[in-house]
């Protein structure tokens, strides 16, 4: 993306942040902008100002090129140092004027709302749009087709702020319809946003279903995604002999870093603990090496509870060997902890 192209898009963003809620009741929104490019940080520093009787509004922000998405604004002006162009949206038109030499620039911007858009929105459940709402719709490119699509997807009682939030997060009517068919209990607008924020897409849900994890609510899906319960993790746990785990168990395993190789290691030593026992073992740092050490010291087939008790009190294979050298051999498991507590061998 060229610096001029990014600059033109940022001008519209700057005016939007500065003018959005302060100029209600006017037919045209007017503002001023300045921009300066910082090559050391590869960022644009934007400032926008609006002057009204008795009130000034100011906004500034530094925006990196790498974080900015191309908006294809005023493409025919990219090579010009003098800028004058129109950006037409369903909700209204931005008129950008000024100059920019690739590193710095200044000028003015005007936004004119489209009355036809407001009339159509009234019929779609959004009567009496404020200038702020016209501006926000234009900024986020919310058109009549998008609103109708959301209504067709089942969202017929959205507030305007919810409509903007859905658009900001790139949520399409197609995404809503697909997720409604995959999630237990049709998700509402806020739940759809949460699903999108956490990158819960149809492919992820379908992969979980294929592994037998269903039905899932939107909350459960977000929880699984946050804790990186992936289809690959489910497959590995399946191969280790763990099927039919519920959402809570899966999240617990992930939180406490119970990995398939840990499960396989315990299994190779003859242990098949339940999912909750795996979590308890991991919490108390009962490692595969610890279990093997106790087995090599003659203590095979210990229960998870016994292993945890031994670990808590610092009884390991080395300690058992120390007792044996002091003449204490074949000590029952229950007495090992008592001897450790009372300082044996003396």
pLDDT of 38: 85
136, 168, 200 — which closes off a domain? Answer: 168
For 6-26, what is the mean pLDDT? 48
214 shares its domain with 287: no
270 occurs within a structural domain: no
pLDDT of 101: 79
48 shares its domain with 144: yes
195 shares its domain with 327: no
pTM score: 0.78
Residue 80 has pLDDT above 60, yes or no: no
Q: Where is pLDDT greater, at 304 or 40?
A: 304
pLDDT of 7: 52
Q: Where is pLDDT greater, at 263 or 15?
A: 263
* Segment among 52-61, 127-136, 255-264 with least mean pLDDT: 52-61
46 occurs within a structural domain: yes
Q: What is the 3-state secondary structure (H, E, C) of the chain?
A: CCHHHHHHHHHHHHHHHHHCCCCCCCCCEEEEEEEEEECCCCEEEEEEEEEECCEEEEEEEEEECCCCCCCCCCHHHCCCCEEEEEEEECCEEEEEEEEECCCEEEEEEEEEECHHHHHHHHHCCCCCCCHHHHHHHHHCCCCHHHHHHHHHCCCCCCCHHHHHHHHHCCCCHHHHHHHHCCCCCCCCHHHHHHHHHCCCCHHHHHHHHHCCCCCCCHHHHHHHHHCCCCHHHHHHHHHCCCCCCCHHHHHHHHHCCCCHHHHHHHHHCCCCCCHHHHHHHHHCCCCHHHHHHHHHCCCCCCCHHHHHHHHHCCCCHHHHHHHHHCCCCCCCHHHHHHHHHCCCCC
Q: Which of 206, 143, 212 is nearest to 178 (CA)?
A: 206
Q: Which domain holds residue 67?
A: 3-168
The conformational region for residue 13 under phi > 0 = left, psi -120 to 50 = alpha, else beta, is alpha
For 224-251, what is the mean pLDDT? 95
pLDDT of 54: 54
pLDDT of 68: 40
Residue 244: CB atoms within 10 Å: 9
218 shares its domain with 249: yes
pLDDT of 25: 46
138 shares its domain with 157: yes
pLDDT of 320: 97
Contact 52, 22 (CB under 8 A): yes
Alpha-carbon distance 233 to 319, whole Å? 36
pLDDT of 51: 55
For 257-264, what is the mean pLDDT? 96
From the number of C-beta atoms within 10 Å of its C-beta (0-12, 13-18, 19+), residue 314 rates as exposed
188 shares its domain with 331: no
67 shares its domain with 132: yes
Q: CA torsion sign, 172 to 176 to 179 to 181?
A: negative
pLDDT of 67: 47
pLDDT tens digits, residue range 263-310? 999 999 999 999 999 999 999 999 999 999 999 999 999 999 999 999
10 shares its domain with 155: yes
pLDDT of 75: 43
181 shares its domain with 164: no
pLDDT of 56: 59
197 shares its domain with 303: no
Alpha-carbon distance 180 to 212, whole Å? 19
Q: Where is pLDDT greater, at 109 or 213?
A: 213
The confidence band for 31, taking pLDDT boundaries of 50, 70 and 90, is: confident
pLDDT of 4: 47
For 30-59, what is the mean pLDDT? 73
215 shares its domain with 74: no
190 shares its domain with 247: yes
Long-range Cβ contact pairs of 304-310 (< 8 A, separation 24 or more):
304/271, 304/273, 304/277, 304/280, 306/333, 307/281, 308/280, 308/281, 308/284, 309/337, 310/336, 310/337
Contact 10, 63 (CB under 8 A): yes
The confidence band for 254, taking pLDDT boundaries of 50, 70 and 90, is: very high
pLDDT tens digits, residue range 106-146? 898 888 999 999 999 999 999 999 887 898 898 889 999 99
Alpha-carbon distance 97 to 91, whole Å? 20
pLDDT of 20: 42
Number of domains forming the structure of the chain: 3
The confidence band for 95, taking pLDDT boundaries of 50, 70 and 90, is: confident
Residue 74 has pLDDT above 60, yes or no: no
Average pLDDT for the chain:
86
């Amino acid at each position: 993306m060229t610096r001029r192209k990014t600059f033109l898009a940022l001008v519209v963003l700057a005016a939007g942040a500065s003018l959005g809620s302060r100029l209600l009741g006017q037919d045209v929104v007017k503002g001023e902008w300045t921009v300066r490019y910082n090559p050391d940080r590869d960022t644009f520093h934007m400032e926008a100002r609006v002057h009204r009787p008795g009130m000034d509004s100011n906004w500034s922000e530094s925006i990196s090129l790498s974080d900015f998405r191309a908006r294809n604004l005023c493409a025919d002006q990219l090579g010009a140092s003098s800028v004058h162009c129109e950006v037409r949206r369903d909700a209204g038109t931005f008129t950008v004027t000024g100059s920019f030499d690739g590193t710095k620039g200044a000028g003015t911007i005007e936004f004119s709302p489209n009355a036809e858009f407001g009339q159509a929105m009234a019929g779609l459940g959004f009567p009496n749009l404020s200038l702020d709402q016209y501006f926000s719709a234009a900024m986020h490119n919310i058109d009549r087709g998008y609103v109708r699509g959301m209504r067709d997807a089942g969202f017929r009682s959205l507030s305007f702020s919810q409509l903007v939030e859905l658009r900001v997060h790139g949520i399409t009517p197609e995404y809503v319809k697909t997720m409604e068919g995959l999630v237990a209990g049709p998700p509402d607008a806020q739940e759809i946003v949460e699903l999108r924020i956490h990158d819960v897409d149809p492919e992820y849900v379908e992969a979980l279903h294929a592994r037998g994890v269903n039905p899932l609510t939107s909350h459960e899906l977000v929880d699984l995604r946050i804790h990186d319960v992936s289809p690959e993790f489910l497959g590995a746990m399946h191969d280790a002999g763990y099927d039919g785990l519920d959402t809570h168990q899966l999240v617990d395993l992930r939180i406490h870093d119970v990995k398939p190789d840990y499960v396989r290691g315990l299994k190779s030593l003859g242990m098949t603990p339940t999912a909750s026992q795996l979590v308890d073992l991991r919490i108390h740092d009962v490692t595969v090496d610890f279990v093997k050490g106790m087995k090599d010291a003659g203590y095979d087939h210990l229960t998870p509870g016994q292993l945890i008790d031994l670990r808590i009190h610092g009884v390991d294979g080395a300690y058992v060997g120390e007792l044996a050298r002091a003449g204490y051999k074949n000590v029952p498991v229950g007495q090992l902890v008592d001897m450790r507590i009372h300082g044996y061998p003396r």
